Every structure is written in structure tokens, then in C-alpha cells.
Amino acid sequence: MFPYIVRRLLIAIPVLFGVTVFSFFIVNLAPGNPVEMFISPDATQADIELKKEALGLNDPIYVQYWRWLQNLLQGDFGYSFSTYAPVGEMVASRVLPTLLLMGSALLLAYIFAIPIGVISATRQYSWIDYLTTGFSFMGISIPNFFLGLGLIYLFAVQWQILPSGGMNTLGGDGGFGDTIMHLLLPAFVLATGIAGSMVRYVRSSMLEILGQDYLRTARSKGLREFLVVNKHAFRNALIPIITVVGMDIPLLIGGAVVTEQIFQWPGLGQLTIQSILSRDYPTLMAINFIAAITVLLSNLLADILYSVADPRIKYN
């Protein structure tokens, strides 16, 4: 198994390189000049040239890339074009809120989706199966922003039991309970899509396993149905689902952009929108890079976990 993990890691290196090249170049293809954003309107052309020279924007693009990569390897993401603050610090302050949001969304999604998927599969074609199928398709098909707005309308405007946005009450004591109240709606919105597809996966994975011969054997030797489903079938059904968890991460990050914008959640998604509006390339590059690395690592982890969980896989 160890050589397999090493090989998987080695494959990740060219991909990682591709990721840096891609994220650097697409953002640098952008038209418009970031210097114009923060220089006073009466600055002369000479001033602008001076500023561009100072920022290194006149160098050939591969020189800029190489410099960016070198700095990156030292943990330096450069300075924001819009706030002058170090990008690393700006991004770092946004990581925790996003992790909190995505973590709770994942937890929420799986806590509900896995048992529902199992029940749906064991009672195939019953009314409960049709109901969950209907709801899971709704969850997958509803746009995050529409669901978010609908929930804000109901919970914050009509019933006034939950805040409409932000992470803490302004001027409040900012306690943990307060954050949880702010977290509920956005986490639920993010969780619906993930839960919807998870229910489908768990259901089809369970259905496949339930039809296997060894389960018939388990039943015929008089094992209770509860044990057959939860001990023999469920554990095997979980194996293919590990891959799905890895695939959920990019979905979560993308969904977080829209959701954070609607709920004014101070995370990476909101920072992305702000950076796009202010043409803040270094920040955009850093966010995209971090997001891509996260996806790469989570897929790697999923692959490795899969190979650990399924002893039938050969490593060669």
C-alpha cells in the first residue's frame, strides 16, 4: 500500500504545477490595469509607469510567474492591489469562517443523508422512497441563492427568529451561541445540495449491496434484518461513498461563494467576489490556489482512504 500512496503523491506534483501555472496565467490575462485602481486621478503617465515598475508589472509574464512561485514557496502571496495588506494575512483571516461554514454544512448533510439513503434503499418503491427521492432531487436542483433568499425571507423577515446575515450580531457580545444562530441558515443552504446527491449515492450503493449473494446467506442463516442491513450491508455500501466525499469538496467551495455573498458571511467566498470587483489579482490567485490545493489533497485523501477501506484493491 505504501508504494501506492507514494505513486499517488508523485502524480500530484505535475498536477500541482499545472494548478499554479493555470491560476497565475488566467488572472494575468485580464485586461485593465490594476495600477489605475489606487492611483489618484491627477497622476501623470510617468507616475503610473513608476508604480507599474515598482509592482513589477512591466516584467515579462514568465518572470512575474517565477517570482510569484518563488515567493509562494516561501509562504508569501504578495500584496493586495486594493488594500495593500499582505494577501496571506487577508486570506488567512477568512479561512476559519469558511472552514466553520463548510464543516458544519458537511456534517449536517451527512448526518441526515446517510440514514435517509439507507432507509430509502431498504424500502425501495415505498412511499417513503418516493418522498426522499423527490426531496433529494429538490435539494440538488434548487439554486443556493434562491433557497438562501427564501430562508432569509421566512426566518429573518417573517418570523424573525434567525439573523439574516453576518457572523455575529453587531455590537453583541459575539459569543459562541450567537455565531451558531448566524451559522444555521447558510450551513443549511450549503448542506441541501450535498445531502441531495449523497442520499442518491447511498441509496444506489445500498441497493447494489442488498442484492448480493452474501446478504442472502446472512439472511438464510437467520440473522435479524436489522443486523443484515446495518452491519453487513451498510459497511460495504460506505466504501464507494468515500470517493463522493472527496468530490463534494469542490462543490462546497463553489457553493460557498454564492452562499457567503447572500448571508454576508465573512469567508473566502465573499473575499472572492470582493477581489473580482476590485480586480485584486494577487488575492484571486491566492484563493484559487488554496482552493485547488484543498481539492487536490481531499481527492488524494479519498483515494488513499478508499484503498485502506477496500482490501480487494491491489496496489501495483
Partner 1 sequence: MSLANLKTEQEPVLQHPPDLGLGEEESYLKMITKRFFKHRLAVVGLVIFIVITLMAILAPWISPRDPYEITGDFAAEPSAEYWLGTDQVGRDIASRLIYASRVSLAVGIGAVAIYVVIGTVLGAIAGYFGKWVDMCIMRLTDVFMSFPYLMVILVLVSIMGPSLYNIIIVLGLLGWPGIARIVRGSVLSIKEMDYVKAGITLGYSTPKIVFQHILPNCLAPILVNATFGIASAIIMEASLSFLGMGVQPPTASWGNMLTEAQSLTVLSTQLWLWIPPGLMILLAVLSINFMGDGLRDAMDPKSLK
The residues that touch partner 1, with contacts defined as CB under 8 A, are: 11, 14-15, 18-19, 22-23, 26-27, 29-31, 133-134, 137-138, 140-146, 149-150, 152-153, 157-158, 164, 193-194, 196-197, 200-201, 204, 240, 243-244, 247-248, 250-251, 253-255, 257-258, 261-262, 272-273, 276, 284, 287-288, 291-293, 295-296, 299
Closest CA to 104 of 185, 187, 194: 187
Q: Is 121 in contact with 203 (CB distance < 8 Å)?
A: yes
Question: Following CA atoms 240, 246, 250, 251 in sequence, which dihedral angle do they give, to the nearest 10 degrees?
Answer: 40
The position carrying cell 439574516 is 164
Minimum Å gap between C-beta 225 and partner 1 is 24
| Nearer CB in complex with partner 1: 7/231 | 7
- Whichever of 25 and 50 has its CB closer to partner 1, that residue is 25
- 229 in Cβ contact with 121 (< 8 Å): no
Q: At its nearest, how many Å lie between partner 1 and the CB of residue 63?
A: 21
Query: Minimum distance from CB of 168 to partner 1 (Å)?
Result: 19
Measured from the CB atom, the residue of 8 and 219 that comes closer to partner 1 is 8
Instruction: Look up cell 516584467; give the residue.
Output: 59
We find the least distance from the C-beta atom of residue 145 to partner 1, in angstroms, to be: 5
- Output the smallest distance, CB 90 to partner 1, in A: 16
Distance, in Å, from the CA atom of 263 to the CA atom of 150, rounded to the nearest integer, reads: 12
Alpha-carbon dihedral sign for residues 74, 291, 29, 78: negative
Q: Are 228 and 214 in contact (CB under 8 A)?
A: no
166 within 8 A of 109, measured Cβ to Cβ? no
Nearer to partner 1, 3 or 14 (CB): 14
DSSP string across 137-153: HHHHHS-HHHHHHHHII
Q: Which is nearer to partner 1, 97 or 193 (CB)?
A: 193
Pick the closer one to partner 1 by CB: 6 or 30: 30
Q: How far is the CB of 295 from partner 1 (least distance, A)?
A: 5
